[in-house]
């Protein structure tokens, strides 16, 4: 959730379209209601709502109201989010001079939020005197806010506004087609697609069809529900079972990234007679042995901290995640120190300096036999220069509120540039010798996609269509080099519930992914789940609300991990109905609100509680704890096994949870854990295990 935000913010903000200087604003200390206000001292303010009608008045600290300045913008973070966000401009102070928009998104790191208040400004009598913000209608919401300003709409906001209506209608129609497509039973079938070094073999059955049939090559960026053309049509002369062999490459294009379908020609395009199918098997160019974690113990967001890398050994770490932000690694233009490489007939450039940093990290893990899962992230591209790698790859509909974005899987140029980057990484790191990446976690917490994998406002079906294609791309490219590499879907702890309307239910996204695999051929995807406590602020996870022991639980946290295990045992979600999905818990931790003895003991107790559940669940292969070390950029949270590096009393100090983590799975476990039973309020660890049915 957190890690790489600082790097993203350093990329800068979009230039304003108005010559007028921004109006800067700040909360008024005595202008609050049903809330508390605290100046944190770092340029940000902390608001905690205490009633059902919270509001905060803002005062102007620089600039003045002017025509054209009508976007209220700020950065915010809230671990709970809010149900709506209303802005009042006065005089007069009333509903007619207010604008209500979507609530603040759930985000533990800084994200951008903006509200166009032009309709309210148009009704103000005379010159505006001030602004009031109303963050929802519920007490108990914690909000951090900074850089509050009134500005002109930026270029991206103008572009999105101009495109909004036409794009909405286009996507609405595509959603209807896609929903119908996932339910269609076609007369023909593609049964298997095999890709080796030089050829593609497609097997299928025409079914009862009579007349001319064609095998269509459908590139990853094309929409099979509205297929106008194919770059290559091959006549299928056999009726019933057939086999077609084709060259793997069509000019510079690699057909590894194609789907294959039976079609008939129509006056207005091509009509499907079978569902399109991806490659089922890819012959790897290397003999890379499978490697699985020796134990469940892992670390999330690993990087080489000199002096404490020994924790990998001292804690018995078997698996880690490593964050890879693609934007800083690849370019479409040459730069000093960047290595040119070819993909798909185009030249791209790789940042050799940054990649050497990953070499160093992965050398530390590889020589210890640690399994590495790379988290693939793509930053916003709308600020990047035209024609740049970042601008090309970022999704065309991505809203600037998102910290990270979805790749644009509907654009040939975007898919090719994205594939070039992924192929470069897989070629470099999918190997038996040297620095190795074993698996690929595709983007971050996609059920909270508005923040972490933004593709604009999309239905869950449209969103999964994009994400599924991104997963397939990573899977197919990695399998060229490593037959055991897997693409993981990343989900946070909201399971059958969304905290705000632009998020998605994790359970629903898994169902949709299974639907796409049923229609277009299965692949060996895996699940990266983040079972944080109900409240990230509270380490007493055994008291979690919003959890039950059913498959429809609102959240899956440490308290009800057994639900994740029960989900994994449903054959409907197994690979080809015969192999259970691999599950890693790749980002989750427990907060110590401060460094008091009570807080540190509760954090450690939460980990002991979690481990006693986790060790019994054979479906969960790895547990990569977040965070290794407390981080000042994580919204005041202290999730780490170690203290802040700049802590005044004990920099880098090992917290009690460090010793719990070290003891997990060792002969010392029960001895170290014993003191935490009283914190939880139990006499025996068996008391925390759920043994009833989960339905």
pLDDT digits (tens, 9 = 90+) for 179-205: 999 999 999 999 999 999 999 999 999
The two tokens of residue 666 are: 């060792």
C-beta of residue 676 within 8 angstroms of C-beta of residue 601: yes
- Report the distance separating Cα 573 and Cα 247, nearest Å: 33
In the structure, what pLDDT confidence band is assigned to residue 324 with cuts at 50, 70 and 90? very high
Q: What is the pLDDT of residue 500?
A: 77
Nearest 5°: the CA angle 243, 245, 248 is: 145
**Tens-place pLDDT, residues 276-306:** 999 999 999 999 999 999 999 999 999 988 7
Q: Is residue 170 part of a domain?
A: no
Long-range contacts of 388-392 (CB under 8 A, 24+ apart): 388/331, 388/332, 388/333, 389/327, 389/330, 389/331, 389/332, 389/348, 389/417, 389/421, 390/327, 392/332, 392/417
Question: Total domain count for the chain?
Answer: 3
Cα separations (Å) of 435 from 33, 357, 431, 481? 56, 11, 8, 14
- Report the distance separating Cα 395 and Cα 378, nearest Å: 10
Q: Is residue 632 part of a domain?
A: no
C-beta of residue 269 within 8 angstroms of C-beta of residue 226: yes
Q: What is the pLDDT of residue 209?
A: 81
End-to-end CA distance of the chain, in Å? 30
The mean pLDDT of 19-41, rounded to a whole number, is: 91
In the structure, what pLDDT confidence band is assigned to residue 19 with cuts at 50, 70 and 90? low
**Tens-place pLDDT, residues 364-393:** 999 999 999 999 999 999 889 999 999 999
**Is pLDDT at 428 greater than 60 in this prediction?**
yes
**Tens-place pLDDT, residues 46-82:** 999 999 899 999 999 999 998 889 999 999 998 888 8
**Tens-place pLDDT, residues 210-256:** 789 999 999 999 999 999 999 999 999 889 999 999 999 999 999 99
Same domain flag for 209 and 145: no
Same domain flag for 597 and 489: yes
50 conformational bin, left if phi > 0, alpha if psi -120 to 50, beta if neither:
alpha
Same domain flag for 259 and 396: no
Q: Which of 274, 309, 329 represents a domain boundary (last residue)?
A: 274
Residue whose pair of structure tokens reads 């379209």 in the numeric block = 17
Q: Is residue 589 part of a domain?
A: yes
**Tens-place pLDDT, residues 79-125:** 888 877 899 999 999 888 888 877 888 777 888 889 999 889 989 98
CATH (domain of 257): 2.60.40
Same domain flag for 485 and 620: yes
- Domain of 262 in residue numbering reads as 187-274
Q: Is residue 174 part of a domain?
A: no
pTM score, whole prediction: 0.85
Same domain flag for 474 and 515: yes
The mean pLDDT of 421-435, rounded to a whole number, is: 97
Same domain flag for 204 and 70: no
The mean pLDDT of 454-476, rounded to a whole number, is: 97
Same domain flag for 267 and 313: no
Torsion angle (degrees, nearest 10) of CA 289, 293, 295, 296: -160
**Is pLDDT at 2 greater than 90 in this prediction?**
no
């Amino acid at each position: 959730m957190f890690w790489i935000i600082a790097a993203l913010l350093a990329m800068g903000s979009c230039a304003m379209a108005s010559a007028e200087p921004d109006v800067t604003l700040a909360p008024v200390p005595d202008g609050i209601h049903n809330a508390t206000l605290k100046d944190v001292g770092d340029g940000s303010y902390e608001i905690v709502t205490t009633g059902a009608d919270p509001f905060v008045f803002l005062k102007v600290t620089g600039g003045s109201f002017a025509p054209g300045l009508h976007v209220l913008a700020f950065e915010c973070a809230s671990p709970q989010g809010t149900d709506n966000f209303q802005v009042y401009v006065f005089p007069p102070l009333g509903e007619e001079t207010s604008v209500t928009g979507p609530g603040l998104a759930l985000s533990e790191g800084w994200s951008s939020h903006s509200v166009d208040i032009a309709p309210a400004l148009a009704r103000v009598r005379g010159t505006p005197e001030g602004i009031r913000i109303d963050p929802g209608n519920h007490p108990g919401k914690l909000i951090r806010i900074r850089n509050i300003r009134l500005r002109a709409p930026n270029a991206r906001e103008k572009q999105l506004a101009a495109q909004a209506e036409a794009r909405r209608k286009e996507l609405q129609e595509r959603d209807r087609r896609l929903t119908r497509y996932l339910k269609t039973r076609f007369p023909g079938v593609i049964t298997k697609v095999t890709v080796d070094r030089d050829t593609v073999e497609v097997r299928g059955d025409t079914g009862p069809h009579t007349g001319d049939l064609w095998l269509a090559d459908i590139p990853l960026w094309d929409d099979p529900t509205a297929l106008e053309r194919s770059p290559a049509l091959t006549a299928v002369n056999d009726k019933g079972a057939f086999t077609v062999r084709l060259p793997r490459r069509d000019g510079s294009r690699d057909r590894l990234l194609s789907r294959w379908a039976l079609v008939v020609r129509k006056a207005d395009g091509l009509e499907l007679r079978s569902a399109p199918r991806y490659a089922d098997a890819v012959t790897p160019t290397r003999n890379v042995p499978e490697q699985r974690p020796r134990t469940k113990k892992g670390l999330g967001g690993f990087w080489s901290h000199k002096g404490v890398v020994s924790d990998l050994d001292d804690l018995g770490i078997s698996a880690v995640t490593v964050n890879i932000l693609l934007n800083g690694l690849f370019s479409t233009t040459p730069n000093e120190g960047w290595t040119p490489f070819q993909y798909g007939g185009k030249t791209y450039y790789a940042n050799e300096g940054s990649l050497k940093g990953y070499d160093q990290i992965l050398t530390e893990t590889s020589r210890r036999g640690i399994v590495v899962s790379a988290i693939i992230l793509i930053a916003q591209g709308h600020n990047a220069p035209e024609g740049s790698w970042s601008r090309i790859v970022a999704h065309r509909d991505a809203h600037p509120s998102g910290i990270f974005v979805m790749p644009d899987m509907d654009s040939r140029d975007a898919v090719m540039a994205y594939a070039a980057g992924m192929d470069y990484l897989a070629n470099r790191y999918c190997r038996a010798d040297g620095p190795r990446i074993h698996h690929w976690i595709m983007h971050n917490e996609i059920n909270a996609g508005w923040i972490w994998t933004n593709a604009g406002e999309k239905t869950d079906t449209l969103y999964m269509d994009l994400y599924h294609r991104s997963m397939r791309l990573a899977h197919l490219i990695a399998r060229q080099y490593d037959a055991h590499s897997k693409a993981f879907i990343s989900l946070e702890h909201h399971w059958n519930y969304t905290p705000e309307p632009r998020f998605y239910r994790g359970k629903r996204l898994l169902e949709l992914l299974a639907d796409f695999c049923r229609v277009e051929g299965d692949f060996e995807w895996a699940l990266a789940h983040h079972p944080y406590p109900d409240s990230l602020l509270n380490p007493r996870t055994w008291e979690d609300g919003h959890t039950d022991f059913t498959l429809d639980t609102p959240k899956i946290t440490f308290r009800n991990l057994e639900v994740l295990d029960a989900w994994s045992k449903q054959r409907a979600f197994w690979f080809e109905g015969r192999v259970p999905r691999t599950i890693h818990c790749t980002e989750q931790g427990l907060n110590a609100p401060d460094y008091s003895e009570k807080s540190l003991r509760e954090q450690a107790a939460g980990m002991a509680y979690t481990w006693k559940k986790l060790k019994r669940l054979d479906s969960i292969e790895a547990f990569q704890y977040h965070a290794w070390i407390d981080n000042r950029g994580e919204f005041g949270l202290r999730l780490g096994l170690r203290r802040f590096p700049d802590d005044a009393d004990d920099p880098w100090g090992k917290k009690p949870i460090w010793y719990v983590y070290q003891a997990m799975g060792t002969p010392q476990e029960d001895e170290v854990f014993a003191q935490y039973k009283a914190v939880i309020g139990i006499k025996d660890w068996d008391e925390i295990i759920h043994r009833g049915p989960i339905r």
